[in-house]
């Protein structure tokens, strides 16, 4: 089936999951193309022609190429009219949360997941315990920020979910995979359950199964 959207990425990539979740929650079908880091596919001239920083995710929307998960998701929100926030003040708050996510929540959880992939021998890295511990403490601090903000709030920026929730949730889902027990952050845990109950929701490896991946 021809679809408007083609997503290049990896099931192990947090930002790839965020884009896939946005498409899924918006009810949009998409083709998924697996980019294998182990095979160096992200360094090939063909891939670099679409991805100026050699990173996933990349989204092709008809003829246009988009990179950087937050920018891709903002594009989708506008193009599809979904999860944008209903007024300028909400949209500004959404933008602030997107930058906070990229700045404070994503990096330590991404690093914790890298540590885990190294331990599982899926990445050729071995991280010093003190450094691994540093990433975990930074992730805990960011989860605490999220938790405090969500006291008395159902979603981050409005009464209904926005792309800020989708982006931050994408990282929190991987924090759970890294064995952070969300019960330590009960407001964030309840919020995560709310996101998980949205129509169309799928967890990371249900949404982008390796088995379904096709190569470029």
Ligand X SMILES: N[C@@H](CCC(=O)N[C@@H](CS)C(=O)NCC(=O)O)C(=O)O
CA distances from 3 to 30, 53, 60, 163, 208 (A): 6, 25, 10, 22, 16
Rounded least distance, CB 18 to ligand X, Å: 7
Q: How far is the CB of 67 from ligand X (least distance, A)?
A: 7
- Burial (CB < 10 A; 0-12, 13-18, 19+), residue 157, is buried
Chain residues binding ligand X by CB under 6 A are: 13-15, 42, 54-57, 68-70, 102
Q: Which is nearer to ligand X, 13 or 26 (CB)?
A: 13
The single residue listed with the structure tokens 């209903």 is 86
CB of 55 to ligand X, least distance (A): 3
Please, are residues 42 and 82 in contact by the beta-carbon 8 Å criterion? no
Residue closer to ligand X, measured from CB, 41 or 192: 41
Nearest approach, Cβ of residue 13 and ligand X (Å): 4
Nearer to ligand X, 56 or 175 (CB): 56
* Helix, strand, coil tally for the chain in percent (to 5): 55, 10, 35
Q: Which is nearer to ligand X, 33 or 189 (CB)?
A: 33
């Amino acid at each position: 089936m021809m679809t408007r959207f083609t997503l290049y990425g990896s099931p192990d990539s947090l930002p790839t999951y965020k884009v896939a979740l946005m498409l899924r929650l918006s009810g949009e079908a998409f083709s998924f193309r697996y980019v294998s880091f182990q095979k160096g596919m992200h360094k090939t001239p063909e891939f670099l022609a679409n991805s100026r920083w050699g990173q996933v995710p990349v989204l092709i929307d008809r003829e246009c190429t988009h990179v950087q998960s937050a920018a891709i998701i903002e594009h989708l929100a506008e193009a599809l009219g979904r999860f944008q926030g209903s007024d300028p003040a909400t949209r500004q708050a959404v933008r602030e949360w997107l930058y906070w996510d990229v700045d404070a929540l994503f990096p330590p959880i991404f690093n914790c997941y890298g540590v885990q992939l190294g331990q599982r021998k899926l990445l050729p890295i071995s991280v010093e315990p003190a450094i691994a511990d540093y990433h975990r403490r930074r992730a805990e601090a960011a989860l605490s920020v999220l938790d405090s903000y969500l006291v008395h709030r159902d979603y981050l920026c409005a009464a209904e979910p926005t792309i800020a929730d989708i982006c931050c949730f994408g990282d929190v889902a991987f924090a759970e995979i890294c064995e952070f027990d969300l019960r330590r952050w009960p407001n964030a845990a309840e919020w995560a359950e709310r996101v998980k109950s949205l129509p169309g929701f799928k967890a990371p490896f249900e949404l982008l199964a390796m088995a379904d991946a096709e190569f470029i």
